[in-house]
Structure 1
Amino acid sequence: MKKEKSERKKKRENIERKIKKEKQEKNKKEKGKEKQKRQTDKEEQKQEHKKKGKEKMRIRRHDHIEFS
């Protein structure tokens, strides 16, 4: 009887461990996706900022040439 209880307890613990591990993996994947999305958003913002800076410089050069 004690042996049966301990076996059932071990099986339950194993199942709980598996479930916990699956949850951790799922959370890890989701965090990875979020991190990837943030990284791409950051890169897009950087590119947009770069474009604006280049446009401003182009306008300044033209203004300088016209007035001199």
Structure 2
Amino acid sequence: MSARDAAEAAFKKTTTKPVEAASVAKGPVIPGAREQVSLRIDRDVLEHFQADGPGWQDRLNAALREAAGLS
């Protein structure tokens, strides 16, 4: 094994999650619960949904559900 191969193996060992940790769920899933995410969208799309005032996040979610064929 070359020094490079040894270094790559050591790096992979320290940066790879153990299989047990990767398969552990974050917690119980609550049906219908929403999850906070960070999302980058175009400014004009954001302004379109915010133009009608409060509730824009619900309107955006409804549009995404429709586009995904979930409604």
Task: State whether TM-score is above 0.5.
Answer: no
Q: Which has the higher contact order (CA 8 A, sep 6+)?
A: 2
TM-score by length of 2: 0.28
TM-score by length of 1: 0.29
